[in-house]
Every structure is written in C-alpha cells, then in structure tokens.
Structure 1
Amino acid sequence: MRGIKRVVAALTMLVVVLLVVGFVLENQQSVSLSFFGLSSAQMPISVFVVLALVVGMMIGPLLGVLFRTRRHRGLAAVHL
C-alpha cells in the first residue's frame, strides 16, 4: 500500500511541476507590480505568480501549526 501512495504522490508532484513549467513558458509578458506606492522591477508575470505560490506554500503549513497548537492549549486548559 505504501508503494502505491508513493507512486501517486510522485505522479501528482510531476503533474504539478509540469503545470508550473507550462504556466511559466506561456506567461513571459513583462509587468511591474505596484503596491502601497512601492513598485517592482519589470519581470515576467510568471515570476510573480510562482513567487506567490511558493510563499503561500510556506505560510499555509506555518498557520496550520500555529492554530493547531493554540487549539491543543485551549483543550488542555478545559481538561484541568
């Protein structure tokens, strides 16, 4: 069963990587983002989107851990 899970996980990652590479190749138009008066350099759209994807993939699990530890602390206080 573990072997099947690994194969499915590997295939899923391969599909995600191929989709990201396809997206990068299709979105090469240069743009500049402006946010609260700050402007970025001219870069392809795909750079900004992939950067947002990576930041989201790092922040998501951190928030999950943060809320999980808060929930466990709250439950421990109730059981005392």
Structure 2
Amino acid sequence: MRGVKRVFAVLIVLIIAFGVLAFALENQQKTALSFVGWATPSLPVSLFIVVALIIGLLVGPALFLLSGLKNSRRIRHKV
C-alpha cells in the first residue's frame, strides 16, 4: 500500500511540474511590474507567476508551522 501511495504522489508531482512547464512555455510575453514606485525589468509573465507560486509554497507551510509552535506553547502553559 505504501508503494501505491508513493507512485500516486510522484504522478501528482509530475503532473504539476508538467503544468508549470507548459504554462511557462506558453507565456513568454515580456512585461514589467511596478509597485509603489519600484519597477522590475521586462521579464516573461511566467517568471513572475512561477516566482509567486514558489514564494507561496514556502510561506504557507512556514506560517502553518509557526502557528503550530504557538499552539503547542499555549498547551504546555495550560498544563
């Protein structure tokens, strides 16, 4: 059963990676982003979106872990 789960997980990761690759290859138009007076050089749209995806994949679990640590400290103080 563990092998089936591992194969399924690998397939899901491969499908997501293929989707990101296809998205990056289809969105090569150059654009510049500006925010509060700060502007980026003209880069492909896909680069901005993939970077945002990666940042989200890093920040989300980090916030989850921090909230878990905060909750475990509260539980220890109550006991």
User: What TM-score comes out, normalization by structure 2 length?
Assistant: 0.96
| Matched residue count | 79
Give the residue type in structure 2 aligned to 1:22.
Answer: A
Gap regions ≥5 residues in structure 2 = none
Structure 2 equivalent of residue 53 of structure 1: 53
CA deviation after TM superposition for structure 1 residue 36, in Å: 1.1
Partners of 1:52 and 1:17 lie apart in 2 by 15
Residues 7-52 of structure 1, C-alpha deviations (whole Å, 9 max, x = no match): 0000000000010011001111100000111000000000000000
Partners of 1:76 and 1:28 lie apart in 2 by 52
Which residues of 2 match residues 1-80 of structure 1 at below 5 A?
Answer: 1-79=1-79
Partners of 1:7 and 1:41 lie apart in 2 by 41
CA deviation after TM superposition for structure 1 residue 75, in Å: 1.1
Spell out structure 1 runs of 4+ moving beyond 4 A: none
Give the residue type in structure 1 aligned to 2:56.
Answer: G
User: What TM-score comes out, normalization by structure 1 length?
Assistant: 0.95
Partners of 1:72 and 1:21 lie apart in 2 by 39
Give the residue type in structure 1 aligned to 2:73.
Answer: R
